[in-house]
Copies of this chain bind each other. A is one copy, B any other.
Amino acid sequence: MARIAGSNGPRTAAQIRRAALKLITRHGYEAMSLRALAADVGIQAASLYNHIKTKQDLLYQIIAEHLDALMQSADVAVAQAGADPVARLRAFIGHHLLYHLDKRQEVFIANFELRALEPANLAKAVAQRRAYEERLIRLIEDGIAQAALKPTDTRIAAYAMLAMLTGACTWFRPDGRLSKAELVQLHTDLILNGCAA
């Protein structure tokens, strides 16, 4: 029996997506039951299936769409930074950090729930993530080639930066001591100049 007049299909789908982000982040994919998800949305568990294909597919959609959006917005941010390699690296760092702080739930899920993906979905997600990492590696390579950055193992440096920046999502609180801008400043400085006096 439809409870509410008017087409609320898209609204329900959006609510499901939002609730899933919350519950997966909080309890993990395996630990989130569809009953709990439905209850959070305010519908019956069976009704979820008017909006999702399976629980697994719900997870994959969340991850895949996040990785897509991350990649596209990173490309835009770097492109706007011009040609200077350090400026481009700064743009990437700033974008990555801000985007991640904005989408903390998606980030958490895309990083920690990959193992819950079925093999086929996992392969696609890993390929998407790999492509993103390659963007950063290219930036570092360019910086080194133009003598703006010190020679180093570019892949390890990229992984180290990404781990550091992504890690910030784990503990950042919007109402905490530091603003996002300060966070960007601190991390950019740490990455570019290190902590030694």
Contacts from A to B (Cβ < 8 Å) = 26-28, 30-31, 86, 112, 115-116, 140, 143, 147-150, 152-153, 156-157, 159-164, 166-168, 170-171, 178, 182-183, 186-187, 189-197
In the docked arrangement, what's the CA distance between A12 and B187, Å?
47
Assess the A194–B193 pair: CB atoms within 8 A. Answer: yes
Q: How many copies does the complex hold?
A: 4
Q: Looking at the assembled complex, report how far the CB atom of A174 sits from the nearest CB atom of chain B, in whole angstroms.
A: 15
Q: Looking at the assembled complex, report how far the CB atom of A159 sits from the nearest CB atom of chain B, in whole angstroms.
A: 6
Q: A30-B30, A197-B150 are in contact. Are A170 and B178 (CB under 8 A)?
A: no
Please give, as numbers and ranges, the residues of chain B lying within 8 Å of A149 by CB-CB distance.
Answer: 195-197
Q: A28-B116, A30-B31, A186-B156 are in contact. Are A195 and B163 (CB under 8 A)?
A: no
Assess the B168–A160 pair: CB atoms within 8 A. Answer: yes
Main secondary structure, interface of A, reads helix
Residue of B nearest to A144 (CB): B197
Q: Looking at the assembled complex, report how far the CB atom of A117 sits from the nearest CB atom of chain B, in whole angstroms.
A: 12
**Additional pairs, 16, CB under 8 Å, beyond known A159-B171, A193-B194, A194-B194:** A28-B30, A28-B115, A28-B116, A30-B31, A140-B195, A149-B195, A149-B196, A150-B193, A156-B178, A160-B164, A160-B167, A160-B168, A160-B190, A161-B164, A191-B194, A192-B195
Please give, as numbers and ranges, the residues of chain B lying within 8 Å of A168 by CB-CB distance.
Answer: 159-160, 163
Please give, as numbers and ranges, the residues of chain B lying within 8 Å of A156 by CB-CB distance.
Answer: 178, 183, 186-187
Q: A157-B190, A170-B163 are in contact. Are A147 and B197 (CB under 8 A)?
A: yes
Q: Looking at the assembled complex, report how far the CB atom of A115 sits from the nearest CB atom of chain B, in whole angstroms.
A: 6
Q: A164-B164, A187-B160 are in contact. Are A31 and B116 (CB under 8 A)?
A: yes
